[in-house]
Chain A
Amino acid sequence: MDRLLGNVDIDYDPLPWLNVHYTLGTDFFNDNRRTVWPLGNSSVPNGQVDREEYFNQITDHNLVVRASRQLNSNIAYTFSLGQNLNRADLRSFEVRGSQITVDGFDQLDGTLSYTPNEFESIVHTQGYFGQLTTDLYDQLYLTGSLRNDGSSTFGKSERRHWYPKASAAWDFSKFSAIQGKIPYLSFGKIRAAYGEAGVQPGAYATNSIFSTGTLGEGWGPVLNLRYAGNGGYVTGGTKGQNKIKPERTKERELGLDLAFWNERIFLNTTYYRAETEDALLALPLARTTGFFSQLQNAAKFRNEGVEASLQVFPLRMRNFAWDWQVNWARNNNRVIDLAGANFIGLAGFAGIATFVIEGQPYSVLRGVDHVRFGRGSVVGGVNIDQAFPDAPKDALYIAANGFPVIDPEQRILGDSNPDWTGSIRNNFTLFRKLKISALIDIKHGGDMWNGTAGALYPFGTHKDTEIRGSTVVFGESYYQNQQVAGPGAGTAVVLAQTWFQGNGSGFNVNAPFIEEAGYVKLREVAVSYNFSGGLIKSFGLSDIDVRVSGRNLKTWTDYSGIDPETNLTGTTNGRGLEYFNNPFFRSYAVSFRLNY
């Protein structure tokens, strides 16, 4: 992989109070890949060679003119105007060669048939902004700004939009009436802000197109649309949308920053509330119209939360210093409106996936559950809620044979968003040379699907399946945390292989494998020492810093899967799935820094 970054920077002060700053930069990378599935491998036994090349160049032009003036001894201001132009150029080629002819020879010409793919996109964005900041009495800071941003990805009638922003901050501890009056308060600031920001869609969403490629199914087999020497195209599943405009987030923020005891204690708190409207989502269409989805400005979300941090310096002596910091954050999000769709899929797996669902937090888990009461379910032609009116809501339905039954309708199974997250950091400095620090990360709440356990059940290799052959009663000695009802409730049954491979298998039902995935992790412990002295100086160095650190040292969690912090679907918007994910690595590092 090659990467090249460069920029030209010009800084010019035509007048003492006027500054012109110009940057022209480019970031270029070229990523060249060879992926080989050798002969005899389990998913493509005939072998396959993929060659891919990605080329990406981003060019950015940024011009800012800033004037800073002192109006009088109490009022100072800065006024800036800026222009930004950006071009993003992405190109990629891929050729997949199928059927390797010579074992160990991994170039494309050793394969028998080729499937090419090519992609390119160019996106231009353009922005102008004006900003005024004022400093009043060294105490009150006011800022206002207005941006106009546009992108080539929006519909023709919606190219450019305005985004305002304003903020105010008051160092009330400097206010004459308060200064010195609150005991121990050495600094206090209250701040408020409002801002709007936009998001642009991917390129070319305005087009209605035909596409080629392959037709497939969820089980692997594909058939090429370009078949038997003929070209083949189908109507693209995404309907074009020529009125795309930006997704807009309006955020309000209120914060309080305090320092006590001669700046030994710092407390920062922020409350925020952000409403996103016209959210860009691929809204599902009725497939019987011939299309799968259409990009629309459709949805509304709300994010609301609190962030707080507390930093304390209990000891600040000559030869020993200790400080610690605690961060805490809590975010609630809710999907307020999905423009008529019940759900939009984010990312997922066969049977279970993450979804955006109206009235729920963004990214919930939806999949297969056992039949439960209170949902209008019909089993064997019988409406079970009517047949068992006394059954508690959400109780597990037990059929006449004493076992639960799979529900054919998909259900919401859990919320992968945490209740709150936090971290604790401790820093120690001894003799101004030895530094020790430790960082703990905490996540509280948040559901995860333990698909690993679900997959091991039918093979009988999971410890939970060791009870095979024993006699249990659902709701009492097995699935103990569930209420049960139904024709077979209370019946003693034998948990045989048919259960673990049938209605208890993770391939057929997902709900029993949803667990809470909170954790406390010892994220990092680092020790560093600064060597100085005559021996070091004789080498021409001023000093040497040596640092030894370990990351991801220990995890404390009730989650029984591999790692509650990983995500099967990677950097997608959906999270909370595990299926043989690799856990985070524990790593140790030693670094030397030579200072001259």
Chain B
Amino acid sequence: MQKRLLHFFITILVVGLAFASMLFINACDAPVSSDFLEGNEIDPNNPTAVTVDQLFTAVQVNGYRQHSGHLARTVAMWMQQMAGTDRQYQQYDRYIFSEDDYDGEFDNWYTGGGLIDIRRIIKIANEQLNDRVYAGYGKFYEAWFIGTCASIWGDTPYSEAVNDQFPTPKLDKQADVYAAVQALLDQAIADLGSGVGLGPRTVDLGYRGNVQRMVATARTLKARYYMHWAEVDPSNYQKALTEANQGISAVAGNLMTVHNASVATEWSMWYQFYQSRDSYTRAGKFMVDLMKARNDPRLNIYYRPLANGQVVGAAIGEPVSSTTSLLGAAFSSQASPFPLITFEENELIKAECNYKLNNPTAALDNLNKTRAELQAKWRATVPTFTYPPLTGLTGQALLDEILTEKYLSLFLQIEVWNDYKRNCFPKFVTYQGQPVPGRVLYSDDERNANPNFPAPNAQPARNANDPNACN
């Protein structure tokens, strides 16, 4: 028995020694450290530091996606410029959506390419490059993104957003967000005009570094955001007019998306959507009929005529057929530029403000200047395009014409919805008499991780800047 026990202990000893020698064995290609598990922590697939130009390119691309994608397509349907004619788009056309239909669109203002990277740009510009112009660009994009977010969702995180100290940012009131955005735009304008630093230069896709144009666009954006509160407080009309008078003064100064027909991932969002889903959304009957009644020369530009030369729009929820027109090639081709912030908007803001401030002569001048610039712009596509000035318009007829012109000129843009919420114009017939939605729901992904966000039942039907329903 003792011999056996002795063997038992020898076993342990021998095995233990053999084992100890193993501890010094490493794989052939171990790094300098003798620890086999060290040396493979750094991710070779993604960098941990990037340049400000690379971040700014990404932010601009995000801006393109947000303003010419799913939200814009939805607004076009609700404003009856287009109609939802197939599958899920038929339901959106009837004002039906759930909290996961626009969740990406909400998140994208804040995540990669959004506020988190805009803040990085501003930080790098101020702390490393001493480039106030670049910081000004950053502040403009921050104001534009958060302002658009607040115009659609109402209350939204801003003061606590993108801040490690606040893992669950609270909702700021819509009015407070707008006030902060207006102040930020003032800072942006000051930074852009300071002359300190070079800014992004040609990395600025819209203006190739023309900082004066950027400043004018910032003014137009301020005017737009004052208009969003004019229904609640009409003193905003004067504020908007003051800004618009320093805003974009010609079509050449328009902020448009930039696309490239040779690069598939730089094709316009509408072209790409139509590639596999051109049955989902077609010309909207209301706008088509409106343009026909006015003999609007843009009818065959906005929409593609059918084989028989006619343009036919679909009524709400009407299914797709070969007898409804597609979106026109000017907007749905590979390289079609999409309007973001334009002269037409600026000039028509002036027209509406001048009218509401009892200056109809100036309002008519603004309207005619818009028509003249649009004529020059569309003559590049259709050489015979004629859009002459109007005379003898006064009173309600003048206002209606101004608002109609804005509705038509801002074709496919989200801003048409903001105008509708303010003026309840155009007075189209809504689906089954229900009101057009005043906002979309918060992202359910955000609600999942942030208890500050209410469930759909507890979210308001309209935002604070839109107190009155239209029907």
Contact = CB atoms under 8 A, between A and B. Distances in A.
Contact of A286 (B45, B167, B262): B167
A283 B141 CA distance: 29
Interface stretch (A168-176, A223-231, A254-262, A470-478): A223-231
B124 to A, nearest CB: 13
A54 interface: no
B82 to A, nearest CB: 14
Contacts of B167: 285-286, 289
Contact of A230 (B7, B203, B267): B203
Interface in B147-195: 156-157, 160-164, 166-169
B62 interface: yes
A221 B268 CA distance: 8
B426 interface: no
Given A217-B69, A231-B53, A232-B58, A289 B41 contact: no
Contact of A18 (B11, B37, B64, B448): B11
A223 B45 CA distance: 20
A227 B61 contact: yes
Contacts of A112: 262, 264
Contacts of B7: 17, 69
B41 A290 contact: no
B380 interface: no
B5 interface: yes
B204 to A, nearest CB: 10
B293 interface: no
A155 B23 CA distance: 22
Nearest to B97: A408
B111 A507 contact: no
From A120, A286, A342, name the one whose CB has the most chain B CB atoms within 10 angstroms.
A286
A287 B19 contact: no
Contacts of A43: 275-276
Given A221-B272, A237-B112, A409-B456, A119 B449 contact: no
B273 interface: yes
A179 interface: no
A288 B169 contact: yes
A124 B37 contact: yes
Nearest to A283: B449
Contacts of A123: 40
Interface in A203-234: 203-204, 206-211, 214-228, 230-234
A289 B266 contact: no
A199 interface: no
B33 to A, nearest CB: 11
Contact of A209 (B36, B48, B168): B48
Contacts of A368: 98
B15 interface: yes
Nearest to A130: B19
B205 A288 contact: no
Interface stretch (B224-232, B302-310, B362-370, B439-447): B439-447
B85 to A, nearest CB: 11
Given A83-B19, A126-B36, A210-B50, A225 B169 contact: no
Contacts of B397: none
A122 interface: yes
Contacts of A250: none
A350 B448 contact: no
A447 B457 CA distance: 28
Interface in B281-295: none
A221 B69 contact: yes
A119 B100 contact: no
B28 to A, nearest CB: 9
Interface stretch (A58-66, A272-280, A539-547): A58-66
A224 B115 contact: no
Nearest to B115: A290
Contacts of A288: 110, 156-157, 160-162, 169, 446, 450
Contact of B169 (A160, A220, A286): A286
A8 B76 CA distance: 68
Contacts of A17: 7, 11
Contacts of A376: 455, 457
B404 interface: no
A292 B450 CA distance: 12
A235 B111 contact: yes
B107 interface: yes
A170 B47 CA distance: 57
A418 interface: no
Interface string B419-437: 0000000000000000000
From B49, B96, B97, B164, name the one whose CB has the most chain A CB atoms within 10 angstroms.
B96
A361 interface: no
Contact of A85 (B36, B55, B203): B36
Contacts of B14: 15, 18, 67
B88 A350 contact: yes
B37 A150 contact: yes
What are the 5 closest A-B residue pairs judged by CB atoms, nearest first? A290-B116, A234-B112, A98-B264, A224-B265, A221-B272
Given A79-B15, A85-B25, 15 more contacts: A20-B18, A44-B276, A59-B27, A81-B18, A83-B25, A115-B265, A217-B70, A224-B266, A227-B60, A231-B51, A235-B117, A284-B448, A287-B446, A289-B166, A292-B111
Interface of B: 1, 4-5, 7-8, 11-12, 14-16, 18-19, 22-23, 25-27, 29, 36-51, 53-55, 57-58, 60-62, 64-65, 69-70, 87-88, 90-91, 94, 96-100, 104-108, 110-117, 120, 156-157, 160-164, 166-169, 203, 205, 258, 260, 262-267, 269, 272-273, 275-277, 317, 319, 441, 443-450, 455-457, 461
29 contacts: A15-B14, A71-B5, A71-B8, A72-B4, A85-B26, A85-B36, A120-B44, A124-B40, A126-B36, A152-B38, A204-B42, A209-B43, A209-B47, A215-B65, A218-B70, A220-B275, A222-B272, A225-B61, A235-B116, A285-B167, A287-B107, A287-B111, A287-B443, A290-B110, A290-B112, A290-B161, A378-B457, A458-B87, A508-B96
